[in-house]
């Protein structure tokens, strides 16, 4: 009870610190959802369904308003001016932090209760804690209600020193991935993506895309590791969100390893309700594509995100048509073409607009082949490390070892000592990089 | 044991916050010019717009415990293993540090164009002529540029960016064409480079070394005496040459200091000649002088009080009296300008000189630019060694 109160207070403070303006709105939404679902649980037949629809409309409506209003108005305005009409003017809607994850988690709560997977929580505070639990608030993983329902009331099994140490290690590992690798590569990726297409040679464009490919992985999986680690330290078991995605041998496998909780969410709450695999082949492909286009749109309100979703949807369809058979024949070699497909996909994701993405991808394939400009040794070493850590799990023994370390719930003394030393080293290194990154003194100031 | 391990790791996590609060151990100060965030004022508007949170985070980050060591650790790792300097405006060469600005100048990356340089030199000539009408000599002194002085120590990738022309070549050409009085230390340093006893530039600094500035002063004041028919106070080196490697002085460590390394920077052995000034004797005079200059002038004033002794003090302000410290405060409360060393002085016909000290670009040893200093007595290296003491 007390632990939940502390965790909830910390979560509210965390959210308020990031955007106090939206706190009241979110609290109102949480209250409304809680009572709506209680009513739904008590209702029968069509009334139950009405409450579910109301809940979905409420949550999806909020998401659409805050995340997509600007996008739709921009496009309507563009269409209007193209047809000779007047340009629309409106006050831009500000995106509240964490709204995408909030929405998905509120939806899982109502759908799980509707499906009878779980009974609704009796305590409003427990429900609020589930929605607002701070470690997963900003970047996930998306925790489905039934995955955490029991832990909200009883976490005794996970509150051991082994879990806390493993949690601390996981947190520090995530921090190091973010600070030591993602930030360094991100700096160069930003520089390269900031260049005009004419300044981009093909090798430089590929280098920028690869940098971003590693940046987004180490950044996002780093955040997930931190969330999982913090969760373990306070007794929660969050689901895994990444499992060495760049060793995937197909895009289908990639989505089983990348942002796993989103993939599962899409499967359980979107793909299966659309009919899943139990439909005609044509419908199956259409469903797959729809789900991935929506997934892309969920990532960001812009055409390039939709294109990114469509791009992955296309390869999922191609996988089913023939690519999976081809990758089976290629064996481990299929990791490379799969990786290259994801690299091109990330350009769609990273570019500021669809037009920019198109220009960038064009340079990757038809740009001039001139030598790369100078990059520091720091950059090359970091890229090397990123490559190593991204692909090393392609060796099955290493992948099994990694999973053994990350998923273990009790540790031998020797292993714990070794892990603690690695944790201490990474923590000091990461802290020094965080503190030092804002300290770049001038030799002389304004002289 | 597991509980102890967890406690120790947790302590490591919260240790910086506790140190910030209780200051268990005293931390060294950081070098360089930088901002330290001030405590933000709390208001509803700042809180709702998110600016308060961001500013408070910066404030806390600037005061977090063990910050100095954490920064030094990162800088040391970057410097030793990755060849990266974390201070702004710095280039790491072959065991030598360079400032980005002078390197860019040497490479011609800041070339302002021939027309602009011609315009500037024409104006300089007008100033020279106008001062001459009032009996005031004018001298433009070109300070040396470390990048041009030792390009062999620049990283190879910078040299690939070398442009065909830099401001230096055109300035010198135009000044000669317009007969502007020029003392070109770029060329002189290039000429002295192979014979000098001690390093003319420090490995960890961007200005002429204490020794280099002594040679420069010797040449400069002889030139001023000749130009204005002055008889300035005499000065000379005395005593044994002090040579130091670990404890460099003044601007000799102005680049290595802001590196903020955990284990310090390895310098060349640097020479520190001791200069004594003779008393003023009839009919010697301390003429008035107006100096407009940059950090090379500051560096020259820092090691020995040439200007302070050879020229007359400003009666009202007492300028020159205080020894000049050429470096910014090691830990300023806030960044500040330290250009106030430029001292305007009363000019009176027949007893004043105008002396302009500029750090632009300089020629390499192989530059075809001819010397304008043929009448200047060659400096005599006074150190014990016959070769530069720069390590190989």
Chains A–B, number of C-beta pairs less than 8 Å apart: 136
In this predicted structure, what is the pLDDT of residue B363? 41
Q: Does B82 touch chain A (CB under 8 A)?
A: yes
The answer to whether the CB atoms of B88 and A442 lie below 8 A apart is: yes
Contact call for A438 and B206, based on CB within 8 A? no
pLDDT string in tens for chain B (392-residue length): 788 888 888 888 888 889 888 888 888 888 877 788 888 888 888 888 888 888 888 888 888 889 999 999 999 998 888 888 888 888 898 889 999 989 999 999 999 999 999 999 999 999 999 999 998 999 999 999 999 999 999 988 888 888 999 999 999 999 999 999 999 999 999 999 989 889 999 999 999 999 999 999 999 999 998 888 888 889 988 888 888 877 888 888 888 888 889 888 888 889 999 999 999 888 787 888 888 888 888 888 888 888 888 888 765 554 444 444 444 433 333 332 222 333 333 333 333 445 555 544 454 433 333 222 322 233 333 333 333 333 32
pTM of the complete model: 0.80
- Whether residue B108 is contained in a domain is answered as yes
Q: Is the pLDDT of residue A103 over 90?
A: no
Side-chain half-sphere CA neighbours of B281 within 13 A: 5
C-alpha distance from residue B79 to each of A284, B18, B87, B256 (Å): 56, 29, 11, 11
Tell me whether residue A299 is one of the annotated catalytic residues: yes
> Best mutation site among B3, B9, B160 for testing chain A: the one with the most A CBs within 10 Å?
B9
A379 Cα to chain B: minimum distance (Å): 9
Q: What is the crossing angle of helices A124-132 and A99-115, to 10°?
A: 130
Nearest to A218 by CA among A239, A246, A199: A246
Pick from B30, B32, B73: CB nearest A443: B32
Choose among A20, A164, A443: nearest Cβ to B254.
A443
User: What's the pLDDT at B348?
Assistant: 35
Q: CA separation (Å) from B25 to B263, B280, B362?
A: 19, 52, 47
Tell me if B341 is assigned to some domain: yes
Number of separate domains in chain B: 1
> Per-residue pLDDT tens for A136-146?
777 778 888 77
Q: Which of residues 324-363 of B touch A (CB under 8 A)?
A: 328, 335-339
Q: B132 touching A, CB under 8 A?
A: no
Residue B366 lies in a domain: no
Residue B159 pLDDT: 85
- A287-327 pLDDT, tens digit each: 888 889 988 888 888 889 999 999 999 999 999 888 888 88
Q: Tell me whether residues B84 and A376 touch, CB distance under 8 A.
A: yes
> Taking CA A401 as the corner, what is the angle to CA A395 and CA A403, rounded to the nearest 5 degrees?
105
pLDDT for residue B175: 94
A416 pLDDT tier (thresholds 50, 70, 90): confident
B323 within some domain: yes
Q: Tell me which chain A residue has its CA closest to the CA of residue B256.
A: A443
How far is Cα B120 from Cα B114, in angstroms, rounded to an integer?
Answer: 10
Q: Pick from A298, A140, A144: which is nearest to A220 by CA? A: A140
Specify the pLDDT at position A175. Answer: 93
Place of tokens 């002189």: B188
**Is B385 a domain residue?**
no
Does residue B51 form part of some domain? no
Would residue B375 count as lying in a domain?
A: no
Specify the pLDDT at position B187.
93
B25 and A CB contact within 8 Å:
no
pLDDT at B378: 35
The predicted pLDDT at position B374 comes to: 27
Burial group, residue B187, by CB count within 10 angstroms (0-12, 13-18, 19+): buried
Q: Are strands B182-184 and B235-244 parallel, antiparallel or unpaired?
A: unpaired
Give domain status of residue B349, yes or no: yes
CA atoms B184, B187, B189, B192: torsion sign: negative
Q: Chain B window 102-131: which residues touch A at a Cβ cutoff of 8 Å? A: none
Given this model, what pLDDT does residue B131 score?
A: 92
Domain that holds residue B318: 97-359
Q: How confident is the model at residue A443 (pLDDT cuts 50, 70, 90)?
A: low
Closest chain B residue to A413, measured at CA: B2
Whether chain A has a CB inside 8 Å of the CB on B40: the answer is no
Handedness of CA A303, A307, A308, A310 (dihedral sign): positive
| CA–CA separation, A35 and B85 (whole Å) | 58
């Amino acid at each position: 009870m007390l632990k939940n109160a502390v965790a909830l207070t910390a979560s509210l403070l965390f959210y308020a610190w990031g955007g106090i303006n939206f706190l009241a709105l979110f609290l109102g939404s949480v209250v409304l959802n809680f009572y709506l679902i209680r009513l739904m649980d008590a209702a029968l037949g069509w009334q139950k369904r009405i409450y579910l629809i109301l809940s979905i409309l409420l949550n999806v409506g909020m998401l659409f308003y805050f995340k997509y209003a600007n996008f739709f108005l921009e496009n309507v305005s563009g269409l209007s001016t193209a047809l000779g009409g007047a340009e629309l003017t409106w006050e831009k809607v500000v995106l509240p932090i964490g709204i995408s994850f909030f929405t998905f988690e509120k939806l899982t709560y109502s759908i799980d209760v509707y499906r009878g997977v779980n009974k609704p929580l009796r305590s409003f505070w427990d429900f609020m804690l589930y929605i607002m639990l701070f470690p997963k608030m900003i970047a996930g993983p998306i925790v489905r209600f039934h995955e955490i329902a029991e832990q909200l009331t009883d976490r005794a099994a996970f509150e051991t020193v082994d879990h806390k140490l493993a949690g601390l290690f996981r947190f520090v590992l995530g921090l190091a991935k973010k600070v030591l690798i993602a930030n360094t590569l991100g700096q160069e990726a930003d520089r390269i993506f900031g260049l005009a297409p004419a300044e981009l040679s093909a090798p430089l464009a590929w280098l920028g895309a690869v940098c971003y490919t590693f940046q987004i992985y180490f950044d996002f999986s780093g955040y997930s590791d931190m969330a999982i680690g913090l969760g373990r330290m306070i007794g929660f078991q969050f689901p895994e969100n990444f499992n060495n995605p760049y060793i995937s041998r197909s895009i289908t496998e990639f989505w089983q390893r990348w942002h796993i909780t989103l993939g599962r969410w899409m499967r359980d709450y979107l793909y299966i309700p659309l009919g899943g695999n139990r439909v005609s082949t044509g419908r199956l492909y259409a469903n797959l594509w729809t789900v991935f286009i929506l997934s892309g749109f969920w990532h960001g309100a812009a055409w390039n995100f939709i294109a990114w979703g469509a791009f992955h949807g296309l390869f999922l369809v191609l996988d089913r048509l023939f690519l999976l058979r081809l990758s089976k024949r290629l064996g481990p070699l299929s990791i490379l073409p799969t990786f290259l497909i994801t690299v091109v996909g990330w350009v769609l994701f990273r570019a500021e607009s669809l037009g920019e993405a198109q220009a960038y991808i064009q340079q990757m394939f038809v740009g001039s082949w001139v030598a790369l400009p100078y990059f520091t040794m720091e950059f090359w070493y970091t890229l090397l490390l990123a490559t190593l850590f991204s692909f090393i799990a392609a060796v099955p023994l290493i992948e099994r070892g990694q999973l053994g370390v990350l998923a273990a719930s009790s540790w031998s003394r020797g292993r714990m000592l070794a892990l603690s030393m690695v944790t201490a080293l990474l923590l000091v290194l990461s802290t020094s990089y965080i503190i030092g990154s804002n300290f770049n003194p001038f030799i002389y100031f304004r002289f | 044991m597991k509980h102890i391990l967890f406690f120790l790791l947790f302590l490591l996590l919260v240790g910086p916050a506790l140190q910030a609060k209780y200051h268990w151990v005293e931390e060294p100060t950081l070098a360089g010019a930088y901002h330290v965030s001030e405590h933000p004022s709390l208001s509803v508007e700042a809180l709702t717009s998110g600016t308060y949170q961001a500013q408070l985070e910066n404030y806390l980050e600037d005061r977090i415990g063990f910050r100095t060591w954490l920064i030094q650790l990162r800088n040391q790792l970057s410097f030793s293993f990755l060849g990266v300097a974390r201070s702004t405006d710095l280039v790491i060469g072959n065991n030598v540090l360079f400032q980005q600005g002078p390197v860019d100048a040497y490479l011609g990356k800041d070339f302002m164009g021939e027309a602009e340089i011609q315009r500037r030199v024409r104006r300089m000539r007008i100033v020279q002529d106008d001062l001459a009408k009032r009996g005031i000599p004018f001298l433009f002194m070109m300070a040396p540029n470390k990048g041009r002085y030792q390009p062999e120590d620049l990283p190879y990738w910078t040299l690939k960016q070398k442009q065909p022309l830099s401001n230096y070549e055109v300035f010198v050409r135009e000044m000669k064409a317009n007969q502007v009085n020029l003392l070109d230390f770029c060329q002189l340093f290039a000429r002295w480079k192979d014979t000098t006893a001690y390093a003319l530039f420090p490995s960890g600094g961007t200005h002429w070394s204490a020794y280099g500035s002594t040679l420069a002063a010797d040449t400069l004041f002889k030139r001023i005496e000749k130009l204005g028919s002055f008889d300035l106070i005499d000065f000379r080196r005395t005593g044994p040459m002090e040579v130091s490697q670990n404890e460099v002085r003044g601007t000799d460590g102005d680049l290595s200091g802001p590196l903020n390394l955990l284990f310090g920077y390895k310098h060349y052995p640097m020479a520190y000649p001791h200069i004594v000034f003779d008393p003023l004797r009839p009919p010697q005079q301390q003429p008035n002088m107006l100096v407009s200059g940059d950090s090379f002038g500051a560096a020259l004033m820092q090691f020995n009080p040439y200007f302070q002794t050879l020229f007359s003090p400003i009666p009202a302000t007492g300028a020159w009296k205080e020894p000049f410290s050429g470096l910014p405060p090691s830990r300023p409360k806030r960044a500040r300008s330290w250009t106030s060393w430029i001292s305007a002085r009363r000019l009176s016909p027949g007893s004043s000189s105008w002396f302009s000290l500029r750090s632009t670009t300089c020629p390499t040893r192989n530059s075809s630019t001819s010397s304008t200093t043929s009448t200047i007595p060659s400096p005599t290296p006074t150190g014990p060694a016959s070769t530069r003491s720069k390590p190989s």
